[in-house]
Amino acid sequence: MIRLLPNTNSQTLSIIPRAYTAASDLTLKIVEDGTKKNETLTSLTSTVNGNFLDIPCTFSILAEDSTYSIEVKQGSTLLYRDKVYATAKTDTTVSHTLNTSQYNNYDAETEEQQYMII
């Protein structure tokens, strides 16, 4: 999973593609999970950087704590597919989950969470 900042500044994707090619005709499609809001970037350039392919991109749809799917293509050839998590948080010791503060864990000690089977 790739982590991106939720802003409109230029960011560089460093990916390990199916085929290494320095090109200037790449297309990147990003789709937000759940809402299907999408953006397509065209005429992107790539440079080979060791074992990685660097692609500078500027996104306009990234929102804090959102997940996305991306596909990088050259013409009709798929070069790369991955998931993206947009966050401005930089603390790498904290686990990021989609369910933070959304659900309560079952606790048998609490009376209102006890189940009775008849």
pLDDT of residue 44: 95
At residue 116 the predicted structure's pLDDT band, cuts being 50, 70 and 90, is low
CB contact at 8 A, 40 and 27: yes
* Total H helices, total E strands in the chain: 0, 8
Tokens of 82: 């991955």
User: Quick one: residue 36, left, alpha or beta (phi over 0 = left, psi -120 to 50 = alpha)?
Assistant: left
- Tell me the C-alpha to C-alpha distance, in Å, between residue 81 and each of 3, 30, 67: 14, 10, 14
3-state secondary structure 91-105: CCCCCCCCCCCCCCC
By C-alpha distance, which of 45, 74, 69, 77 is closest to 58? 45
Span 26-79, pLDDT tens digits: 999 999 999 999 999 999 999 999 999 999 999 999 999 899 999 999 999 999
